[in-house]
Chains A and B, each alone.
Chain A
């Protein structure tokens, strides 16, 4: 008789003895926890043995458990390998989960305000243990998710897995693709650095271009919260990024995966009879059960992918953080994120409304309703030459448009600015900042001759000094020094090569590098050098089409025609008609502590 008014564990102990009762309790607990598998069943799974009980207890979780009920209890053998799915759907979901977990971590340390956001990023990187690690994972996961979802879409199209009865699966997948792109885009703004600010400015300006003007203006205001991106825009993007879009993804992912399981994972096209959807009717001999094979397979994939991610962020990938967002300064060569470069390339083709809005909208709608357009029953590659050709054409066009979106295409920047940008980019490192601090030797060096002291061939007599003067003062004769052998000589050689590459419209150009101390500190621990990059050249005479003009020189050879003006030509103040001289450049400061030169190299 129980001491309690209800049946209890104590009754079992009394009846069977404590050891047996305890073992039974544990076994029952395990069976409840696993929704159907007891200790013996698990032992059989781990040993790779067939189930000893009937009905097969390994199928029970798929009926009774919440998480497992979403997964098929068995797969067709033909879809368990790399082909045809390449695990891309799984990979997309994996990245989404990684983003949720890492995003939650980062949310703790982030405030979506222009006053705080950038400082929060610095805090995450400098003051939060594993902060850089998690941020890098988050960024890599975002890039990976966009790539995985895009490849998954291409794979689905290629294998014809959008055809009946999977049309809505395709449609929901397109919604997920859009959500993924906007998740990545909205997250791009959050660091509030120059990269974020200007990339999102470019992207959202396309919304502003939507006709008619009242629509474009209001869509722009809705996105940005103001005519320009500021506190309102940052907050809205943040809410999109952490709430609305993840919620939409979760909803549509549920719908999408439900449909995938409902119809079954589509088989490789050549294994299906044309017009027959045999994915659900899996013969017994072709079944691969979820437990243990698919489960262990997925866990192994999880471990492997996570391991690769961790290795990648330790040695190969770090999320960038440029200077603080500055609405007054547009960095040279600013671009949209890589997955929108194709859009930026399209804008270079012509009218921004047509190429930036109309064409992408038409493409998007066409893709979304494609299963309702391509209703042919066969998924076989041989029967879908047209569709597959269109796909290859589309991919080729996207790749080409992506290249066109890069700054190298169709953007005309003055040669002197390109040289300075290549040598010491406004954002990023560049060859100049990579030089170890101790490799800098004070002096004036010129690209026309690296090996010996010589006079700079151009003197801009009587030139006015600008408000922020660049050294050396080229309104007086300048002595260029021989460049010391070593890394500095290599840098000057790079400078020289850049002058050759970009100097076609800079006749007689000489690149100068002036190095001097700016601040000296105890033990040189925080010394600062000032490096003036200065380019001096003769101004070319251009024709009405902005092209170089040529004339025959004194040596009989063709040379670039130069603009001339009456100017001072010597130290005595004498004037004559002479080629116009131009100078430009920038000042770069390099501190021993900063990262660029590898710190301690």
Chain B
């Protein structure tokens, strides 16, 4: 054995063993860490998400709560709620319920129409049979009557009245239930004519991205419909918040999801607005009101509107997407003016009306005349409270282009 001096471990073999043991121990520990790494990283990610929510909550309390409320339920007339079902839900339940009711009512109408047709056919058959008795044998009338009787008999024979009546009877409680659901949702503040926020603003991306872009850029044009516009908060847009701070606020808002989806619109203090609803501008708007007289307005003159502005207003009021899309719930937008001129104004109920008066009446007093095949009470009755005279002229100008 060599003389080793006062080294760490004098004995050579022991020294080698100690070295091997410590290296092996170190490698084992590193291996153990490596095996546990995926779990540790997941935990870190979760923990950091928690801290991000905390930071976002603090930032929100110091910056956003003065407008959006300390509980993020909005402040009336100031800024909308973010702890808000309209923000987080994919679909407006009232809109879904209204669509379901409308669908059931359409089915009801179809079945009623079929029964009416059957009844008419039965009467026509009886009349034709009587007429055949009186017709001269071999005459053209006899031939035509025989043909008519054959057709009508066929139709009457092939129509399953009992089954159709049974289907109609089965629909009645469903329609009642759907109506009750819709009424209940309306009582909770749900507006069937409104989309949820992302659909309303036609945002095709994720909610997080919508929130991020809103916080960064603000809403510079919102002065038109809020007392104060939302300023830009992101440093990228000249605001004070770093990107990570914006992400923290987004994380905090997103954490409202589970609370928000269980709320109703009545639980929040202020809903989102669209530019057309106005705010500061709306305060100065001379709305027509629900008692406006379409005839008087037409006599005073409803021409001179701007079709482009009318189209924008038509869209912002969600007339097209909500109802007048494909003629299912309400008459389709396409071909409106043609149908008004060629069909509606020929209905005795619309005698002596001009197209402008007809359109104005349709908007301001929807139940005054309901196009056959559609149901009364579906179109909102309060558009008069949302539009002024110029808006009406613009809408008329736009609809007159739909030929």
Contact = CB atoms under 8 A, between A and B. Distances in A.
A130 B55 CA distance: 27
Interface string A575-592: 000000000000101111
B1 to A, nearest CB: 5
Interface in B1-17: 1-9, 12-13, 15-16
Given A119-B244, A132-B44, A80 B6 contact: yes
A300 B5 CA distance: 15
A237 to B, nearest CB: 20
A593 interface: yes
Contacts of B66: 467-468
A519 B82 CA distance: 12
A293 B6 CA distance: 11
Interface stretch (B23-31, B202-210, B320-328, B394-402): B23-31
Contacts of B7: 80-81, 288, 293-294, 297
Interface stretch (B175-183, B255-263, B283-291): B255-263
A521 interface: yes
B49 interface: yes
Interface string A512-529: 000000111110001010
A289 interface: yes
B57 interface: yes
Contact of B43 (A299, A519, A599): A599
Interface in B27-48: 29-30, 33-34, 37-38, 40-41, 43-48
Contact of B53 (A294, A323, A326, A589): A589
B61 interface: yes
Contacts of A133: 30, 33, 37
Contacts of B20: 303
Interface in B218-265: 240, 242-245, 252, 255-259
Interface stretch (A99-107, A121-129, A356-364, A374-382): A121-129
A50 interface: yes
B19 interface: yes
Interface residues of B, number: 59
A544 interface: no
Given A519-B256, A593-B49, A296 B15 contact: yes
Contact of B57 (A311, A326, A589): A589
B51 A310 contact: no
A543 interface: no
B19 A311 contact: no
B276 to A, nearest CB: 32
A307 B22 CA distance: 6
A274 to B, nearest CB: 24
A594 B47 contact: yes
Given A324-B242, A519-B255, A528-B57, A50 B22 contact: no
A505 interface: no
Contacts of A119: 244
Contact of B8 (A48, A297, A323): A297
A122 B248 CA distance: 14
Contacts of A522: 258
B13 A48 contact: yes
Given A587-B58, A591-B53, A80 B5 contact: yes
Nearest to A80: B5
A300 B3 CA distance: 18
A290 B70 CA distance: 73
B6 A81 contact: yes
Contacts of B245: 324
Contacts of B49: 526, 593
Nearest to B44: A126
Interface string A462-490: 00000111000000000000000000000
Contacts of A289: 2
B50 A293 contact: no
Nearest to A328: B240
Nearest to B57: A589
Contacts of B3: 77, 288
A593 B61 CA distance: 20
B30 A310 contact: yes
Contacts of A292: 2, 12
A171 B51 CA distance: 48
B46 A293 contact: no
B12 to A, nearest CB: 5
A304 interface: yes
Contacts of A393: none
Contacts of B255: 519, 521, 526, 528
Contacts of A125: 41, 44
Given A122-B48, A311-B29, A521-B255, A589 B19 contact: no
A306 interface: yes
Given A80-B6, A595-B51, A303 B23 contact: yes
B282 interface: no
Nearest to B42: A126
A314 interface: yes
A469 B62 CA distance: 9
Nearest to B23: A303
B259 A293 contact: no
B18 interface: yes
Contact of B18 (A304, A528, A594): A304
A132 B50 contact: no
A304 B14 CA distance: 13
A328 B45 CA distance: 27
A4 interface: no
Given A307-B25, A310-B26, A81 B259 contact: no
Contacts of B57: 518-519, 528, 530, 589
Nearest to B83: A519
B54 interface: yes
A139 to B, nearest CB: 16
A307 B5 contact: no
B22 A300 contact: yes
Interface in A299-349: 299-304, 306-307, 310-311, 314, 323-324, 326, 328
B65 interface: yes
Contacts of B242: 324, 326
A494 B225 CA distance: 51
B23 A126 contact: no
Nearest to B22: A303
B53 A306 contact: no
Pick the most buried of A127, A131, A594: most chain B CB atoms within 10 A of its CB. A594
Contacts of A592: 50
B25 A127 contact: no
Nearest to B261: A522
A3 interface: no
Contact of B259 (A115, A127, A521, A589): A521
A216 B70 CA distance: 48
A214 interface: no
Contacts of B29: 307, 310-311, 314
Pick the most buried of B41, B43, B252: most chain A CB atoms within 10 A of its CB. B41
Nearest to A294: B7
Nearest to B54: A589
A157 interface: no
A66 B293 CA distance: 104
30 contacts: A48-B2, A77-B6, A80-B5, A115-B243, A118-B244, A129-B34, A130-B37, A133-B37, A292-B12, A293-B2, A293-B4, A293-B12, A297-B7, A299-B19, A300-B15, A300-B16, A303-B20, A304-B19, A306-B22, A328-B240, A521-B255, A528-B53, A528-B57, A591-B51, A593-B46, A593-B47, A593-B50, A594-B50, A594-B51, A599-B43
Given A520-B259, A593-B50, 12 more contacts: A77-B3, A80-B6, A82-B6, A126-B41, A131-B41, A288-B2, A288-B7, A300-B22, A303-B19, A314-B29, A324-B245, A528-B252
Interface of B: 1-9, 12-13, 15-16, 18-23, 25-26, 29-30, 33-34, 37-38, 40-41, 43-51, 53-55, 57-58, 61-62, 65-66, 70, 240, 242-245, 252, 255-259
A-B residue pairs, 3 tightest by C-beta? A593-B50, A81-B6, A594-B50
